Structure 1
Amino acid sequence: MTVKTFPLSPLIRLTLISLYFALTLPLPFLNDFTESPLPTPLLWVGIVLGAIALVAALSEKVILDEEKIQVSYPDWVPSFFRGGWSLSWSEIKELKLRTTGQGGLVYYFVPHREEKAYLLPMRVAGFAKMVKEVEAKTGIDTTDIRPMSQPWMYLILLFFTLLLLLVDLWTISVALNQL
């Protein structure tokens, strides 16, 4: 049995984790600088818990085998936090296009029983290969399916995140020198 795994794109993971730290790391230093009543250790605990939650959310992977498509998370991610799903190839009736509130396009697997639709994961590494595999297993034409966001979008976001991290380093150094 051939099993193919498609994890979330490393570029997307790196960009989003970097952005998280760029937005949160200065907070404890600024908290001390502004003499806020919120205890700084509590901020650090919140940042660490938020980082764990973000890494958990970004640990999604798509597993394809001869029988089904499955979205899952590692065992350390609690099921109440991010539940995965599984759908056998024979259950899939179609891929239905929907527009997002921001004008993007997403696709949902619609099973024959149509009680629930399942979002096609679009931010995985090897998206084109995964879609071709879906087409081979279901017979659904996927030639028009493109990933929701292109790599250049995340490269631009990563560039500006790195600039923000430089500003953060400057902010932290100023805050530490003022204490």
Structure 2
Amino acid sequence: MALYLALTIPLPFLSQVTASLVPPALLWLGIGFGFVALYGALSERVILDEQKIQVSYPRWVPRFFRKGWELPWTEVKDLKLRTTGQGGIVYYFVSHSGQGYLLPMRVVGFSKLVQLVQNKTGIDTSDVRPLAQPWMYLILLTFTLLLFFVDSWTIWTAVSLGKLT
């Protein structure tokens, strides 16, 4: 969310300074809608219980935007590894009907989730690792904060030069 804000907040100011054809008010509106959409996409909930694993979203998130799923533990046939286009590794639950369900990988307590999957399904999960490591998030946070600093300086410079009123 912070990266989204760091990337978008300067746009209305730059639009006004450069006399862009896109009015700043329209950009603010778009940023607001984008923020809500991103928040909805990132509000995924992973629910585990004795019978199933479920991925759901709050009721206000339209189903056409993000649709959840649930899979009873008894329906899990296998856990298949797949590589991503960026070279990462993700895992899919494969049901007895052959349908795939993406294993949620960006959850707090991922190792506990993987252990529970192993306990409930009997599938060996000892090689399953999270997609992103904590140090990756630290790098992202560092560059996001740096971008906020540059954004602040840019906006302050434009305002102090009297280009924004």
Counterparts of 1:175 and 1:30, CA distance in 2: 8
- Superposed displacement of residue 136, structure 1: 0.7
Aligned mate of 1:169, from 147, 152, 159? 152
Aligned to 1:160: 143
TM-score normalised according to structure 1 size: 0.89
Q: Secondary structure at the match of 1:176?
A: helix
Aligned to 1:148: 131
Aligned to 1:127: 110
Instruction: Summarize deviations over 1:26-69 as a string: whole Å, max 9, x none.
Output: 00000000011111110000000000011101100110011110
Alignment of 1:15-164 (within 5 A): 17-114=1-98, 116-164=99-147
Is there any run of 5+ residues in structure 1 with no aligned partner, and where?
1-16
Structural RMSD (CA): 0.7
Is there any run of 5+ residues in structure 2 with no aligned partner, and where?
none
- Superposed displacement of residue 158, structure 1: 0.4
Counterparts of 1:101 and 1:78, CA distance in 2: 28
Higher RCO (C-alpha 8 Å, min separation 6): 1
Q: Secondary structure at the match of 2:90?
A: strand
Q: Percent identity?
A: 65
Q: Secondary structure at the match of 1:128?
A: helix
